[in-house]
Chain A
Amino acid sequence: MFIHEFKYELIRVLRQKDELFWVLLFPIILGTMFYVAFGNLNNATENFHTIPAAVCVEAAAKDKSFEAVLDILSDETDTPLLELTYTDWDDAVELLKENSVRGIFKIGESVTLHCVSNENANAVTLALEQSILETILQEYLTYADLITEIAQTSPDKLPEAISKMESSVSYKKELSLTPGNMDSIIQYYFNLIAMACLFTSFAGAYIAMHHQANLSPLGARKCISPNSKFCSVAAQLLSCLLTQFVCVAVTILYLYFVLKIDFGTSFPMILFTSFIGCILGVSFGFFIGSIGRISETAKNGIMISASLLCCFLSGLMLGNMRMIIESFCPLINDLNPAVLISDSFLTLNIYGVTERYGANLFALLLFSAIFTVFGCLMIRRKTYASL
């Protein structure tokens, strides 16, 4: 009996096109749209390019050390930070206007940086590159002042101070405390997977609705069959869970292998977490499907609305939404299944398997158990007051 129900639920789900659309096709389409939309942003903000800059050394220049620093920054074998053009002031200004350089370091009695806004250039890229040039100069000036002060007050500690500065100064290498992907955009993909997990609720609801005589003729036919309703529901829920998980896994595989999204953690753990997410999605749908005498269309509407609301609050549409909610009502985040799922991915990515990750999974499984138990209580074998 169990195998019979399991087999036919498997066939049914794999042929139910509308369910497959929501749980498989829609996340893939949305993921591709994210990839296209965020792709340019990635190139602009995350991929490092050598910054062209002009250097004008005036005859009155007393300090040669900044020149030496610039030479070091432009002379690295790996992608150098700077590409320098030594020239006079007029030519440098011309280069800046042509956008051939992003700024001019003028080394005279003091060292200054000159930048201009350029409407022809990509505003984000230009701002970022000018900001790096500004940082280089500010860091240099700060350290120069510091060394001068140490030399004047404690000359014996000067070698030690210089040594420490050399070891800590880095302009372009990020020191990360985690092997995970620190790209903030990854959060959108985690939310996307959470959404796919919640969309498995449609299949769960179908099972509940088709086990109740007062909700569908199929439910009535099943109710008069000589079988344990619990056995039938268990077989179908398990079958449904597996098929829905496969669909979500296909989405994750697509993101990982086709779109090359770096989830920053071990792939099996991502799959495992999404499996738990699917358990929650299916049980949530099962619960919604079992309540009241509401039409199938209305219940599907409730599930789409609830899933999308949860995803919206977790930051699927607005990246900082979750932080906004955390600041004024953190309880919503604690109860929001989409947040719990995406936060599990995020925790895995940044910290690995931690207490927080375990707490998230525990909460997801607890909610799933509550939904399933209440769903079973509502659809248990009984006579109805009306059909």
Chain B
Amino acid sequence: MSKPVIQIENLVKRYKDFIALDHFNMEINEGEIFGLLGPNGSGKTTTINCLLSLLSFDKGTIQVFGQTIRPDSYDLKRQIGIVMQNVAVFDTLTVYENVDYFCGLYVKDKKTRRNYVEEAISFVELEQFQKFYPKKLSGGLLRRLNIACGIAHKPKLIILDEPTVAVDPQSRNKILEGIIDLNKKGATIIYTSHYMEEVEQICTRISIMDDGKNIAVGTSDELKQMIKKSEKIKIEIPVLSEEDLKNLRLLPHVLHADYQNCQLNIQCSGGRHNLVRILEYLQTRSLSFDRVYSELPTLNDVFLEMTGKELRDNA
């Protein structure tokens, strides 16, 4: 079994009367890409800042690589790379100089550092922009520079705090591919985002946060199995009688069915072959239909069912 890299127990962080983290628990194992998913203000960045010993907290314990982290825990910090939510680079230094500067805070040997810097620049595909100043870079390239500055020293634990905010789809895909690549090279990754598609795409395990609490933890499939709604079926039918609608509602695993604007909407709970069963019924009743859609539940559905709120509302 892989070792835990991070263990957070009963973490409480208050800003006067506002509780930012409410007895938050989290355990991340070596080699994982762990996603912290939640709307803005749910406590993701606060968790990261407490973890990095930037923020003080009121209660709880945080262990990184089995040790309590403090502001002067230099050996622990040497193993951590952070990609901040806000781009943190020097406007007066070029791309190469920025990466070299931040890498130099961790790696003293000049030759090793030069190799690391070149690798990091190559990793984020900024080779042709090495002599550019940050102000000359587009938003996506700037985010990639921000990532290069955070990972150049080859840390064992990489924390990426919403690295794709305000990034175009092409750059976003590059960043996500890069994160998977870093993980394959051995880094444990914590990835915070309010974009559920990204989290679902790259994370091996996900924690859903809301109001400073950990609502659910598991793989994407495990989380989806936690909710009743598992499948949404939409069928375009020109004519459907009230009697047929009642019969459809009586089919196994059907939670809800309605007919509006020539469209039949059915929500099913878990169970297999829901779509086949519904289509068989329509055929036996000789009801003609056009297009058929079947949607599996998303993390937004999970979030909606657990909190009563739309995750997307705050995204």
Chain A: residues with CB nearer than 8 A to chain B?
Answer: 1, 4, 8, 11-12, 15-16, 213, 216-218, 220-227, 381-387
Contacts and interface: CB of A to CB of B under 8 A. Distances in A.
Contacts of A382: 71
B92 A226 contact: no
Contacts of A8: 90, 93, 97, 101, 104
Given A11-B93, A11-B97, A226-B106, A383 B55 contact: yes
Given A11-B97, A226-B78, A227-B105, A381 B90 contact: no
Nearest to B150: A221
Given A385-B56, A386-B55, A225 B84 contact: no
B74 A227 contact: yes
Interface residues of B, number: 33
B72 A381 contact: yes
A4 B113 CA distance: 12
B54 A387 contact: yes
B168 to A, nearest CB: 21
Given A383-B53, A384-B56, A218 B108 contact: no
Contact of B88 (A4, A220, A383, A384): A220
Contact of B54 (A1, A15, A218, A223): A223
B172 interface: no
Contacts of B56: 383-385
24 contacts: A8-B93, A8-B101, A12-B92, A15-B92, A217-B88, A218-B88, A220-B84, A221-B82, A221-B102, A222-B105, A223-B54, A223-B71, A224-B53, A224-B77, A224-B82, A225-B102, A226-B74, A226-B75, A226-B78, A226-B105, A226-B106, A227-B74, A381-B71, A381-B72
Interface string B34-58: 0000000000000001001111100
B105 A225 contact: yes
A228 B73 CA distance: 10
Given A11-B97, A220-B88, A224-B77, A383 B106 contact: no
B293 interface: no
Nearest to A19: B92
Interface of B: 15, 49, 52-56, 71-72, 74-78, 80, 82, 84, 86-90, 92-93, 97, 101-102, 104-106, 108, 149-150
Contacts of A15: 92-93
Contact of B77 (A16, A226, A384, A385): A226
B52 A224 contact: yes
Contacts of B72: 381
Given A227-B74, A227-B105, A220 B92 contact: no
Contact of B86 (A4, A12, A217, A386): A217
A293 to B, nearest CB: 14
A348 B76 CA distance: 54
Contacts of B53: 224, 383
Contact of A12 (B49, B71, B93): B93
Contacts of B108: 1
A11 B49 CA distance: 30
A187 to B, nearest CB: 36
A32 B87 CA distance: 41
B54 A4 contact: no
B82 A4 contact: no
A8 B90 CA distance: 10
B54 A384 contact: yes
A227 B84 CA distance: 19
Nearest to B88: A217
B108 to A, nearest CB: 7
Contacts of B86: 217
Nearest to B159: A224
Contacts of A4: 101, 104-105
Contacts of B101: 4, 8
Contact of B84 (A16, A221, A386): A221
Contacts of B106: 225-226
Contacts of A1: 104-105, 108
- What 10 A-B pairs come out closest when comparing CB atoms? A217-B88, A226-B74, A15-B92, A226-B77, A225-B105, A217-B86, A383-B56, A226-B78, A4-B104, A221-B88
A383 B97 contact: no
Nearest to A232: B105
Contacts of A226: 74-78, 105-106
B88 A386 contact: no
Contacts of A385: 55-56
A4 B149 CA distance: 16
Nearest to A229: B71
A325 B97 CA distance: 49
Contacts of A12: 90, 92-93
Contacts of B54: 213, 220, 223-224, 383-384, 387
Nearest to A14: B92
Given A8-B104, A222-B105, 18 more contacts: A1-B104, A4-B105, A8-B90, A8-B93, A12-B93, A213-B54, A217-B88, A218-B88, A221-B88, A221-B102, A221-B150, A224-B52, A224-B53, A224-B80, A226-B77, A384-B55, A385-B56, A386-B15
A16 B92 contact: yes
